[in-house]
């Protein structure tokens, strides 16, 4: 199994996508973000939009109808917050490489944040996932794409020690994010 590849077919088998896809101007979004984004994430947003999975994990969406889950706003805020944090806490080893950084793609209702690990010269389709606990210094690194992480977490194939033990639910729920 390609652990970094697109897992949307697996995700769609777990929970069908809504009938109305969301269209985005990815060129403008990536320009504003200052980096390309993984193709599987763009397809996830097209099919599902920003969404709440099992009343716990919220996938961020650029230009999300619920402004609290806008990818660009989160990316800007997290970059600032993490730079301030590194003054007091040690960076994860994965971020010691010159030019390495993280970009958020999902958050939880408890405050955990799920990031892509962005490394210099690495194609966005090869980015992996890092999870940071809420109000703590613990990080986990998963060598999978965001869609593989989401599908594997929902199916129970992947477990995180940082995320809630009540995630995933036995019966999955998905709610597309709308206005706050």
* pLDDT beyond 60 at 75: yes
pTM for the predicted model, two decimal places: 0.94
The first and second tokens of residue 68, run together, are 């609290």
Whether the Cβ atoms of residue 131 and residue 139 lie closer than 8 Å to each other: yes
Alpha carbon distance 57, 174 (integer Å):
10
Q: What is the mean pLDDT of residues 106-122?
A: 96
pLDDT value, residue 4: 59
B/e letters for 129-148, b = 16+ CB within 10 Å, e = fewer, are: bbbbbeeeeebbebebbbbb
Structure tokens at 123: 């194609």
SS3 55: coil
pLDDT of residue 3: 56
Matching residue, tokens 């709440």? 52
Inside any domain, residue 47? yes
Mean pLDDT for all residues in the chain = 93
Type and span of the H or E element at 117: strand 113-118
In a domain, 35, yes or no: yes
In a domain, 21, yes or no: yes
For residue 84, the model assigns a pLDDT of 85
**pLDDT confidence of residue 135:** 82
The per-residue pLDDT for 86 is: 81
Total count of domains within the chain: 1
* Rg value, the chain, Cα: 15
More confident residue, 47 or 135: 47
164, part of any domain: yes
More confident residue, 179 or 59: 59
At residue 5, φ and ψ (nearest 5 deg) are -80, 180
Instruction: Indicate whether 1 belongs to any domain.
Output: no
**Position 88 pLDDT exceeds 90:** no
SS3 assignment, position 163: coil
Please check whether residue 3 lies inside any domain of the structure. no
Task: Provide DSSP, 126-162.
Answer: G-EEEEE-TTS--EEEESS-HHHHHHHHHHTSS--SS
CA atoms within 13 A on the CB side of 62: 22
Range of the domain at 13: 8-176
Is 2 inside a domain boundary? Answer: no
Write the pLDDT tens digit of every residue in 5-15: 789 999 999 99
pLDDT tens digits, 128-165: 999 999 988 899 999 999 999 999 999 999 999 999 99
């Amino acid at each position: 199994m390609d652990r970094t590849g697109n897992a949307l077919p697996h995700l769609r088998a777990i929970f069908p996508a809504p009938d109305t896809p969301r269209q985005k101007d990815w060129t403008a979004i990536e320009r504003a973000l200052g980096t390309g984004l993984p193709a599987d994430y763009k397809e996830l947003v097209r099919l599902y939009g920003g969404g709440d999975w099992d009343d716990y994990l919220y996938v961020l969406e650029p230009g999300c109808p619920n402004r609290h889950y806008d990818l660009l706003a989160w990316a800007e805020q997290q970059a600032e917050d993490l730079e301030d944090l590194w003054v007091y806490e040690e960076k994860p080893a994965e971020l010691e490489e010159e030019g390495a950084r993280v970009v958020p793609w999902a958050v939880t209702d408890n405050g955990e944040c799920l990031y892509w690990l962005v490394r210099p010269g690495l194609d966005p389709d090869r980015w992996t996932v890092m999870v940071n606990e809420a109000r703590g210094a613990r990080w986990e690194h998963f060598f999978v794409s965001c869609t593989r992480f989401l599908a594997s977490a929902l199916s129970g194939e992947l477990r995180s020690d940082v995320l809630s033990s009540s995630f995933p639910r036995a019966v999955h729920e998905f709610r597309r994010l709308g206005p706050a």
